[in-house]
Amino acid sequence: MKGPVLILGAGSDIARACARAFAARGCAIQLAARDPGRLEADRADLETRYGVTVSLHEVDALEVEAHESFVAGLPELPMVAICAVGLMGEQDENAADMTRAALVMRSNFEGPASLLGVLANRMEARGAGTLVGISSVAGERGRASNYIYGSAKAGFTAYLSGLRNRLAGRGVHVVTVLPGFVATKMTEGMDLPKPLLAQPDEVGRAILGAVEKGRDVIHVRRIWRLVMAVIKAIPEAIFKKTSI
């Protein structure tokens, strides 16, 4: 794989797993986050362990007006860009406070879509590249327990689908990742069934495989396809009475 790999939202557990997976393939890594100074230990670890070049970059997903200059300021346009930006929050708090709800929706849709949109335009002009958006199965059907987060992910999934359709035949591939439950700080303390719970390194390896094989949409654990197929098939009159 030629060219650097850009990791957006590089401080998350999934982002770190992606960085390790691609660095193990010998890829140069660009780590981008709001506070890149906190990624110094990650840089040292990746460079020592894998012998690759790692650069740190500052970006705020919510400052969409600065995204053009952020991408223009990268030392090299990446060959692969992975967006791991996201925020879940607590559903009850999000539902009670629209300012908080807006932050969740902007963090999971507006910011990631803007960053990948800028990168898409530049990759299209170059005629090569891969964009990876980490969305969620929560976006496949709204549920009372997380519909604010899920609605933003639904928008992001649709955005990635449209971007993939637009860029088909132009040398730029778009991968949608639907991880399901992942054992990260975001899900810490939740009582989640183990067969549905992936580890961050599992997600990193799945994304690497999807990029290398040119996959369009992946569920990290295949069981999620069946789970979501069942959930989506439940008639609305019945679904609204459930607490799934």
Task: Give the catalytic positions in this structure.
Answer: 149
Position of tokens 């327990």?
145
**Alpha helices for 51-146 (secondary structure H):** 67-72, 91-96, 98-105, 111-126
As a residue count, the chain comes to 244
Phi, psi of 90 (to 5 degrees): -100, 130
Q: What is the DSSP letter of 129?
A: E
User: How many Cβ atoms sit within 10 Å of the Cβ of residue 199?
Assistant: 15
The sign of the CA dihedral 49, 53, 58, 60 is: negative
Question: What is the rounded CA–CA span in Å between residue 85 and residue 12?
Answer: 8
Phi, psi of 140 (to 5 degrees): -85, -25
Question: What is the rounded CA–CA span in Å between residue 208 and residue 224?
Answer: 19
Nearest C-alpha neighbor of 207 from the set 78, 76, 25: 25
Q: What are the Cα distances from residue 82, in Å, to 96, 146, 241?
A: 32, 24, 37
